[in-house]
Amino acid sequence: MIQRATGVGASGAAFLLGLPNGGNFPRNADAFWSQHFKAFYVQNDWRVTPRLTINMGLRYDWETPVTERFNRMTTVYDPTAVNPMSGAAQTAYTNILNNPANAANPGIQILMQSLPAGSFKLMGAQKFAGVDGQSRGIYHTDWTQIQPRIGFAYKLGPNTVIRGGGGRFSQASFDTGGQNGFSRSTAFNQTSDNYFTPSDTLDNPYRNGILNPTGATMGPLTNLGQGVTWNYQDPRRFYSWEYSFHLQHQLKSWLFEAGYTHNKTYNITQGLNQNLPPYDLWQKYLGVQSVFDSTGRPLDTLLWNTLVPNPFQGLPNVTGSPSTSNTTTVHQLLNNVKILDGMTMNLYPRGTNQYDALLAKVEHRFSKGFAILNSFTWSKLFEDTSWTGPEIAGRHVEHKLGGEDRPFHLSIAPIWQIPIGRKQALGKSMPKVLDAVVGGWQLSGQFNIQSGVPVVFNSTGSDNSWFSGKDFALTHDQQSLNRWFDTSQFQRFPDKTADITTYPAWTGVMNLPGANYKPAAGDSIKNGVYQDFAASLRNYPTRWSRVRASRTNNLDLGIYKNFVIRERLKTQFRFETYNTFNHARFAAPNSDPTSPSFGVVGSSQQNAPRTVQMALKISF
């Protein structure tokens, strides 16, 4: 890519002379991924008695970790290794602490107590596939996927059967590694002497050559200062334990069924931040102990976010903003790997979810022109896949309703060929002309009613407000799009302009340090507590069973007229309506207590409105 010059004479004229002012030549990483999968299973059906049959099986499968043919892959990042740039960074850090010009900086005072110069080390080393004893795969092979299964069928009577079974089921994966160091871009150098003479031109661009990616050659110095992700080395594949039991009874053309099913899935993977600073320091310098100055006025910038000189600026082999920024924050230098902010280890197998359901089905198999299938599900879905508060506070898992938890689901689907017309129960000998009008009609439908999904009060919405602890669900007759639940049971944390004297007593805001602060006239700060909540921990759930988005309530109908012109030529006229009663389904309400639209449901309909369709079908 080459850009036209700007700011050097006339940009158009410069471009015509072959003197663009910028561009780059990227060399992006290529990958040739490879993985092998093998499986073994045995199965046996055993007819124990004329009434009882048992099915038994055992499956074992394994897959090799993904590899890259030429090892162009990063596998892990070692945050405990001392980086070769540590000495130079420590010298720069020591000079910053000892510089008299920085003595009054409150951030420097914190660092001198919490991170003296002798304790400063630059940690972190990138590891590459197939280098220095590292495996070629992205993680270790999982040898644990033994999957037993068993099922049975027992005949209780001539028309009654009980069936059941259970087993372990694993899910295959295809996880690839990163390619840090295997991409590189060559910048277009328009001049090296402040535009007195050009350097790269259209005739001879990139005269110093195209830079090759460094690959693994620079080891822990690769892209030093850039963000890092890697994969946990013993992730284990997803697997589920599933059980089900069903009782079936046939009565003439009717089939009745009731049952229970259970599924629990393990090893749902998560990403873990591996660069968290000490929790006690996080809490201290974001907490109420540190947010006031000597006059009792809240600080405009919390001590945790105080800017200090950047010890990595200008160091060789450091790239990105750490190499160019003049300042960094206190909390950045309190990280274990100080040159990085967050660094994520992916595929950590910590999460679970569980689904349980009672099922009922009534089916009339097609006979005498009529069939119907009715099914009802009463279920519950739970998941343990996220934290109850900031990850730094201890990674406490929240046991909550699943995002797709829909407890009730009823489906009714009938088909009826109206028994009027020639060769039918009514009017079997009517004239053909009359049959062409009143005979050959067919009706069908599909009715679905299903609970809505839980409203999600995400981590942002739950870390910036108080909750009274009272039931805030509204009955159906009280709900409206403008007030889906009782928002008065929530109170957002105050910002600097809030009048906290109007806040409900249950928030406890008037008991906080700084609540009695009286701002000076004209001060932008109107209360002395607004900085107290940066280290707050969530104290209420993110989902409630009684507060849900609007349900599904949908009816589709079809009316069909069949004409038999002759034996091999038939015509059908179809009249169909979808969402016949035009029941609108809306999105979930706004669940952010800081938003002016809190508790409001958007008026945009999520499902399709009523649709009418007509068609003519000819079969020959």
% of the chain surpassing 70 pLDDT: 97
Give me the domain span that covers residue 101: 34-190+209-263+268-345
Bridge-based pairing state of the strands 344-367 and 229-231 = parallel
List phi, psi (to 5°) of 168: -110, 135
Counting the structural domains of the chain, the total is 3
Which residues are within 8 A (CB) of 194 and not within 5 positions of it... i.e. 6 or more apart?
none
Residues 217 and 287 in one domain: yes
pLDDT of residue 461: 47
Tell whether the model's pLDDT for residue 370 goes beyond 80: yes
User: Tokens standing for 578?
Assistant: 């979808």
Tell whether the model's pLDDT for residue 236 goes beyond 90: no
* Average pLDDT rounded to a whole number, residues 432-457: 89
Element (H, E) at 581: none
Q: Which residue in the block uniquely carries the two structure tokens 């009017």? A: 427
Residues 311 and 197 in one domain: no
* Average pLDDT rounded to a whole number, residues 98-104: 94
Terminal-to-terminal C-alpha distance of the chain: 60
For residue 232, which of 77, 75, 346 has the smallest C-alpha distance? Answer: 346
Residues 25 and 54 in one domain: no
Residues 314 and 253 in one domain: yes
% of the chain surpassing 90 pLDDT: 64
Would you say how long the chain is, in residues? 620
Tell whether the model's pLDDT for residue 423 goes beyond 80: no
Burial (CB count within 10 angstroms: exposed 0-12, middle 13-18, buried 19+), residue 335: buried
- Tell me the CA distances in angstroms from 204 to 25, 191, 477, one per residue in order: 13, 13, 75
Residues 568 and 441 in one domain: yes
Q: pLDDT averaged over the chain? A: 90
pLDDT of residue 4: 46
Q: Which residue in the block uniquely carries the two structure tokens 């805030």? A: 472
pLDDT of residue 1: 47
Instruction: Tell me the β-bridge partners of 151.
Output: 55, 165
Given 182, 208, 234, the domain boundary residue is 208
User: Do 555 and 447 meet the contact criterion of CB atoms below 8 Å apart?
Assistant: yes
pLDDT of residue 199: 83
SS3 string, 499-558, reads CHHHCCHHHCHHHCCCCCCCCCCCCCCCCCCCCCCCCCCCCCCCCCCCCECCCEEEEEEE
User: Do 301 and 420 meet the contact criterion of CB atoms below 8 Å apart?
Assistant: no
Element (H, E) at 409: strand 408-417
User: Do 246 and 163 meet the contact criterion of CB atoms below 8 Å apart?
Assistant: yes
Residues 85 and 225 in one domain: yes
- Tell me the CA distances in angstroms from 277 to 194, 250, 330, 335, 532, one per residue in order: 43, 65, 11, 5, 20
Lowest mean pLDDT among 276-280, 288-292, 375-379: 288-292
* Count of other CB atoms within 10 angstroms of residue 119: 9
Lowest mean pLDDT among 116-120, 393-397, 502-506, 507-511: 393-397
pLDDT in tens, 310-369: 999 999 989 888 999 999 999 999 999 999 888 999 999 999 999 999 999 999 998 888
Tell whether the model's pLDDT for residue 450 goes beyond 70: yes
The answer to the question of residue 492 being in a domain is: no
The answer to the question of residue 79 being in a domain is: yes
Residues 413 and 280 in one domain: no
Residues 335 and 394 in one domain: no
pLDDT of residue 192: 77
pLDDT in tens, 143-200: 999 999 999 999 999 999 999 999 999 998 999 988 999 998 888 888 777 777 888 8
The answer to the question of residue 600 being in a domain is: yes
* Average pLDDT rounded to a whole number, residues 522-536: 86
User: Tokens standing for 364?
Assistant: 């009339």
Residues 117 and 239 in one domain: yes
Tell whether the model's pLDDT for residue 432 goes beyond 80: no
- Tell me the CA distances in angstroms from 337 to 103, 307, 332, one per residue in order: 25, 18, 9
SS3 440: coil
Rounded distance between C-alpha atoms, residue 371 and residue 391, angstroms: 55
Residues 454 and 333 in one domain: no
* Count of other CB atoms within 10 angstroms of residue 610: 12
* Average pLDDT rounded to a whole number, residues 474-499: 93
SS3 573: strand
User: Tokens standing for 613?
Assistant: 């369709």
List phi, psi (to 5°) of 204: -140, 70
pLDDT in tens, 28-83: 999 999 999 999 999 999 999 999 999 999 999 999 999 999 999 998 999 999 99
Q: Which residue in the block uniquely carries the two structure tokens 């068609």? A: 615
pLDDT in tens, 159-169: 999 999 999 99
The answer to the question of residue 502 being in a domain is: no
pTM for the predicted model, two decimal places: 0.86
Tell whether the model's pLDDT for residue 3 goes beyond 60: no
The answer to the question of residue 241 being in a domain is: yes
List phi, psi (to 5°) of 614: -125, 145
User: Do 356 and 261 meet the contact criterion of CB atoms below 8 Å apart?
Assistant: yes
Given 286, 313, 345, the domain boundary residue is 345
* Average pLDDT rounded to a whole number, residues 448-474: 85
Lowest mean pLDDT among 107-111, 425-429, 477-481, 583-587: 425-429
Selection from 117-121, 290-294, 558-562 with the highest mean pLDDT: 117-121
Tell whether the model's pLDDT for residue 287 goes beyond 90: no
User: Do 468 and 487 meet the contact criterion of CB atoms below 8 Å apart?
Assistant: no
Given 313, 345, 377, the domain boundary residue is 345
The answer to the question of residue 531 being in a domain is: no
Cα angle 493, 499, 502 (rounded to 5 degrees) comes to 85
The answer to the question of residue 469 being in a domain is: no
User: Tokens standing for 401?
Assistant: 């309703």
Residues 130 and 238 in one domain: yes
Residues 38 and 130 in one domain: yes
The answer to the question of residue 604 being in a domain is: yes
User: Do 197 and 275 meet the contact criterion of CB atoms below 8 Å apart?
Assistant: no
pLDDT in tens, 11-24: 677 777 777 877 88
* Average pLDDT rounded to a whole number, residues 463-478: 90
Burial (CB count within 10 angstroms: exposed 0-12, middle 13-18, buried 19+), residue 537: middle
